[in-house]
């Protein structure tokens, strides 16, 4: 392995078993054994294998900050667990050069009965720091966490914000050669989050440390990681410059060409009646900022969506609805065309529907759009996963700190529906 490679992963696979008859208790195990004796032919352990990771290979250079992205279940956590030596790979080889510290959770091992001071030492030891090292950084940790006055109070009396600040502060003062971080960034209140981000930035930038960062927050990935590893269903879907991989992740599976999305081939859910068919949608933001991917829209921008819809026959009380969801599935905003443009009856044909959002007041981060068409008969067409956008900070935005509270704050003003045939 050449000297400037810090992490080398080769053909890594991890298999879990699913659907095995549960043998978690001794009784189950005995029952299982007894069944085997009575009827040895029927093998009940038709274990379904599940590959959490399959043949994953990549290398990370010394001093590189690599982002790891992927949907839930893509294998990110399994990868981190194997790299952190918590669980063993099923196949493949990893070599790690240098001391590794992993932060898969904030405050691992904190004990509620112990004081803040005691927990600093305990948590530090759990994360791999020596006693002398913790003592040396103790003051810096306390100052960073802003808990000076409560050092000798048991942490069970801490507010959740104080608890998390202290936990992050200990972790942030680790100085390993290789740091593995799972989405623990966004903790505490907005001001502390900014401080955390800054700290991670300086950890990543300083001392040629190698950092692996798993996150769903595309803005922070893009900000911190020049290169990104994209996982999908346990395999490497891409490894390259951050912007391209994030685009691949957000628009990826439907090969978005700029801002037009073909909706014809999209999967339908909720068994619509099919009297109307969503054909396509085009995103038309008012102004396009430079340096942004086509899926990225600045906070507060004006956005127009233009849908092409085919009506296969005449429909009464035609209505179009849009729901905007966070990637976790919470609905942030929704709007219905009937609010300012009710249609009593529409003939068969191809229609253009324009929806203008006067100001895109969504919190920062990725959002998924669901679109549906209904009539007096019920749902005519529905796509729960039509396309995705990412809201990024705008230059004029006063609220760049409001990240990770997606869905909590969303305000879309002046929604304007226009329907033309």
Partner 1 sequence: MSELKAITPEVSEVVLEAGRSARHYWRDLWRYRELLYFLAWRDVKVRYKQAALGAAWALIQPIVTMVLFTFVFGKLAHMPAGNLPPDAYPLLVIAGLLPWQLFSAAFSGASGSLVSNSHLISKVYFPRLVVPLSSLAVAVIDFVIILGLYAAIAAWYGVWPEWKIVFLPVFIIAALVFALGAGLWLTALTVKYRDFRFIVPFLLQIGVFATPVGYRADTLPNWRGLLSMNPLTGVIEGFRWALLGRDFELDPNTLIFSTVSGAALVISGIWYFRSTERTFADVI
Contact set with partner 1 (CB under 8 A): 1, 16, 24-27, 29, 81-100, 102, 104-105, 108-109, 111, 113-114, 118, 121-122, 125-128, 130-133, 136, 175-177
CB of 197 to partner 1, least distance (A): 22
Look at the block and give the residue holding tokens 């990935």. Answer: 221
- Minimal CA–CA distance to 61: which of 14, 12, 98, 92? 98
Q: Which CB sits closer to partner 1, 120 or 236?
A: 120
Sequence-distant (6+) residues with CB within 8 A of 398 are: none
**Distance (Å, rounded) from C-alpha 247 to C-alpha 253?**
10
CB of 147 to partner 1, least distance (A): 19
Look at the block and give the residue holding tokens 């982002």. Answer: 67
CB of 102 to partner 1, least distance (A): 7
CB of 91 to partner 1, least distance (A): 5
CA dihedral 161, 162, 168, 169 (to 10 degrees): 150
Q: Which CB sits closer to partner 1, 108 or 352?
A: 108
CB of 163 to partner 1, least distance (A): 15
3-state secondary structure of 303: strand
**Cα dist. 243→30, 186, 295, 400 in Å?**
54, 21, 11, 20
CB of 105 to partner 1, least distance (A): 5
Residues 224/66, Cβ–Cβ less than 8 Å = no
CB of 143 to partner 1, least distance (A): 20
**Distance (Å, rounded) from C-alpha 196 to C-alpha 190?**
10
Q: Which CB sits closer to partner 1, 94 or 399?
A: 94
Q: Which CB sits closer to partner 1, 98 or 241?
A: 98
Q: Which CB sits closer to partner 1, 24 or 395?
A: 24
Q: Which CB sits closer to partner 1, 90 or 286?
A: 90
Q: Tokens at residue 421, please? A: 């045939």
Q: Which CB sits closer to partner 1, 207 or 258?
A: 207
Report strand pairing: 210-214 vs 65-69: parallel
DSSP state of 175: -
């Amino acid at each position: 392995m050449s000297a400037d490679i810090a992490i080398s992963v080769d053909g890594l696979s991890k298999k879990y078993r699913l659907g095995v008859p549960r043998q978690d208790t001794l009784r189950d195990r005995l029952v299982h054994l007894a069944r085997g004796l009575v009827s040895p032919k029927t093998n009940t352990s038709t274990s379904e294998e599940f590959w959490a990771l399959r043949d994953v290979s990549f290398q990370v250079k010394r001093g590189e900050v690599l982002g790891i992205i992927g949907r839930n279940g893509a294998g990110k956590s399994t990868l981190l667990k194997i790299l952190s030596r918590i669980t063993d790979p099923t196949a493949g080889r990893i070599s790690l050069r240098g001391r590794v510290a992993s932060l898969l959770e904030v405050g691992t091992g904190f004990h509620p009965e112990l004081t803040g001071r005691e927990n600093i030492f305990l948590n530090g030891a759990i994360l791999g720091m020596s006693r002398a090292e913790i003592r040396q950084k103790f003051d810096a940790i306390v100052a960073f966490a802003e808990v000076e006055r409560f050092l000798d109070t048991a942490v069970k009396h801490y507010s959740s914000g104080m608890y998390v600040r202290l936990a992050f502060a200990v972790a942030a003062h680790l100085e390993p050669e290789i740091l593995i971080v799972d989405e623990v960034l966004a903790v505490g209140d907005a001001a502390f989050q900014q401080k955390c981000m800054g700290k991670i930035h300086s950890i990543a930038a300083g001392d040629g440390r190698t950092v692996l960062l798993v996150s769903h927050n595309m803005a922070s990935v893009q900000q911190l990681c020049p290169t990104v590893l994209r996982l999908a269903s346990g395999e490497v879907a891409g490894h390259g410059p951050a912007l391209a991989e994030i685009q691949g992740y957000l628009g990826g599976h439907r090969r978005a060409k700029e801002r037009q999305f073909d909706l014809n081939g999209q999967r339908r859910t909720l068994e619509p009646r099919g009297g109307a068919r969503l054909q396509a949608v085009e995103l038309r933001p008012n102004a396009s900022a430079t340096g942004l991917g086509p899926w990225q829209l600045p906070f507060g921008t004006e956005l127009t969506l233009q849908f092409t819809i085919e009506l296969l026959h005449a429909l009464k009380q035609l209505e179009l609805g849009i729901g905007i969801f966070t990637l976790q599935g919470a609905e942030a905003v929704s709007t219905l065309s009937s609010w300012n443009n009710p249609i009593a009856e529409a003939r068969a044909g191809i229609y253009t529907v324009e929806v203008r959002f006067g100001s895109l007041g969504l919190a920062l981060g990725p959002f998924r759009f669901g679109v549906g068409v209904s009539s007096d008969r019920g749902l005519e067409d529905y796509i729960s996963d039509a396309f995705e956008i990412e809201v990024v900070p705008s230059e004029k935005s006063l609220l760049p700190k409001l990240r990770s509270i997606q869905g909590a704050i969303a305000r879309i003003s002046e929604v304007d529906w226009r329907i033309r045939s």
